[in-house]
Structure 1
Amino acid sequence: MTIVEKSQYNFIQNEIWILTFGGAFQRANIYISKDLAEQKKGVFKKGIRVFIETTILDSYKTTIVSDAAHIENIKKVSDYSSNYSELFNNEKINFGIAQKMLNLYLKYMWSLGYIQSPPHFPVDRIIQELLNKELKGLGIKGEELKAWTQFTDEHHYVKVINNARELISKKESFANHSLAELELSLFQRR
């Protein structure tokens, strides 16, 4: 990679992380105090960014990551945040916030062609509503909406992912879509 290419990559990474943190933390109310020094938040954000980029990202570059491995990676993100327990209401970010962060980051990286299609998509209220609407049109009952910021484990998350798989298998217009492609398609239809 040339110096210019490296500078371009670093610029894009910084922009992606701004969007990722904004999307993952926007309604999460994760910090102990609103008055928490930006410097302390910045140390956490830098740390978790380095952790994801150096420990987790490589597995998504050339291979398809299994559901189980992906869920373990989400848990690793949550667990890593406990290194900054003094910042958080619950001593770490929960599964829902960790999945939103990792899945959103992977979505951006995939959209730019840096990695293979991610195994899942960011689960939030909007995607839950869109999936339920599509499933209802097929006469299938979707899952009850649950605030993604409140997911303490993978149980509801996995139900949403399974609903998306059911939609792919039952609706011809989504046939052969990956989960990531399905999410992009649903958002474009809004």
Structure 2
Amino acid sequence: MKKIFIDSEVWSLSISGAFQRSNVYKKNILDKDKKEFKLGLREFICNTILPVYKLGKVSDKNHIANIENLQQYTTNYGYLLTAGQFNFGVSQKLLNLYLKYLWCLDIIPEPPHFPVDRIIQEKLKYKPLIAWTKIKTSEEYMAIVNFARTKIEPKDKFHNSLGTIELNLFSRRNF
């Protein structure tokens, strides 16, 4: 029961983080349809994408392909979604946030990237800032990731990987 509870909470936090500010749904979409969509997303990520992350290191190329596969999957629910599918930014945020939580719970090894959003760009001093909800391509996204890589310092335990840099810079606004 504890595992089911934690899985549900992690998924809920991931959905909330990825859907905030992103205007995902068309107007007047029924709650039952939203629930079906989120259930399908979860099954797709857990059954199709997640297994490779449990095995270990995932390359940039494979991670980008997984984000694009998630984006493509959402076209199955295009009738619910504002743009007919997620854009790259929403797709990366959902997958990266979910992977980050699983990593922090020691369920998977460290994922290749972190959730890209405005806050992390500001803390990294990345310019020009790109609204994560507007990221359309892997090139825009990878420019931010590659900029963050310039901040890696192998001998510093708080800055020796993308994940540790993001965790060190991350802070909730409410605390």
TM-score for the superposition, normalised by structure 1: 0.86
In the alignment, structure 1 residue 128 sits paired with structure 2 residue 121: yes
Residue 93 of structure 2 contacts residue 117 of structure 2 at CA under 8 Å; is this kept in 1?
yes
The one-letter code of the counterpart of 1:55 is T
For residues 134 and 171 of structure 2, the distance between their equivalents in structure 1, rounded to whole angstroms, comes to 26
Residue 108 in structure 1 maps to residue 101 in structure 2: yes
Question: Residue 165 of structure 1 aligns with which residue?
Answer: 149
Whether the aligned pair in 2 keeps the contact of 1:85 and 1:91 (CA below 8 Å) is yes
The equivalent position to 1:117 in structure 2, one of 110, 113, 123, is: 110
Residue 62 of structure 1 deviates from its aligned partner by: 2.3
CA deviations 1:114-165 (Å, max 9, x no partner) are 0000000000000000001xxxxxxxxx330011001111121101101110
- Tell whether 2:33 aligns with 1:50: no
Say whether 1:186 aligns with 2:159. no
Distance change >3 Å, CA 182–CA 89, structure 1 → 2: same
Cα contact 2:102–2:108 (8 A) shared by 1: yes
Paired residue for 1:11? 5
Percent identity over paired residues? 46
Change over 3 Å in CA distance of 1:176–1:126 after alignment to 2? closer
The one-letter amino acid of 1:83's match is N
More helix by share: 1
Q: More displaced, 151-160 or 37-46?
A: 151-160
Which residue matches 1:30? 24
Residue correspondence of structure 1 range 50-129 to structure 2 within 5 A: 50-129=43-122
| Aligned with 2:134 (options 142, 145, 150) | 150
3-state SS of 2:75 partner: helix
Q: Is the 8 A contact 1:96 1:151 kept in 2?
A: yes
- The number of equivalent residue pairs is 173
**In structure 1, distance between residues paired with 2:34 and 2:118:** 25
Shift in Å at residue 40 of structure 1?
0.4
Is the Cα contact below 8 Å between 2:89 and 2:133 reproduced in 1? yes
Assess if the C-alpha contact under 8 Å between 1:61 and 1:116 holds in 2: yes
Distance 1:188 1:98 in 2: 22
1:94 deviates by 0.6
Q: Are the structure 2 counterparts of residues 22 and 68 from structure 1 closer, same or farther at C-alpha, using a change threshold of 3 Å?
A: same
Report runs of 4+ in structure 1 exceeding 3 Å deviation: 171-176
